[in-house]
Chains A and B, each alone.
Chain A
């Protein structure tokens, strides 16, 4: 079965600095990869996805993610973090069904 790993429980960055939230995956066949964000007491919101095509995917709120097939990674990035980006981020991979990582809590400090 497919799986996703988010190696960092917590990521802290200063406002204005670039941020990276890491994700690696395992799936047979072509990967369908997703990033979601969850704000407190809310459901998950879709940020971006990779299905095929350009390895750099641009999504909502200035986020982007880079698909790297050789490293089986799909790291989420943003050039300049905002305090309002503080939230829980989930990576997911679609195989027979959708599998989510355990989540990474991003804290952006002013």
Chain B
């Protein structure tokens, strides 16, 4: 079934720990995105990649890193998690400038 998968579904993490959120799409979209969703703030773009091998910073990139080794995968890494990174994280894909398709999300709690 075509779409976007994210793992894990949810995670509780101690502050200071490293964490990688996984995202995989099978729609062969060139562009992929990571957002965080916080109450009252909507979705904010963390990082994006317009094509494999390239990445760019979004609105709130600090404390996060990404890589895009191939078309399908776009992992998001928190090198040293902090409580303010408690959020719901959504991965999305699409052709640059057009409709984005979203994964089911990862609920992350940093204690």
Contact = CB atoms under 8 A, between A and B. Distances in A.
Interface of A: 6, 9, 32, 34, 36, 41-46, 49, 90, 92, 94, 97-103
Chain B residues touching A, range: 20 to 34
B97 A45 contact: no
B64 interface: no
A45 B42 contact: no
B100 A99 contact: no
Contacts, number: 51
A90 B43 contact: yes
A101 B99 CA distance: 16
Interface of B: 4, 33, 35, 40-45, 48, 56, 58-59, 90, 92, 97-105
23 contacts: A32-B97, A34-B99, A34-B100, A36-B102, A43-B4, A43-B92, A43-B103, A44-B92, A45-B102, A46-B99, A46-B100, A49-B98, A49-B99, A92-B43, A94-B97, A97-B58, A98-B45, A99-B45, A99-B59, A100-B43, A102-B40, A102-B42, A103-B42
A41 B102 CA distance: 13
> Helix, strand, loop or mixed for chain B's interface?
strand
B69 to A, nearest CB: 22
A99 B59 CA distance: 9
A90 B42 contact: yes
A74 B58 CA distance: 24
Interface core residue of B33, B99, B103, B104 (most chain A CB under 10 Å): B99
Nearest to B100: A98
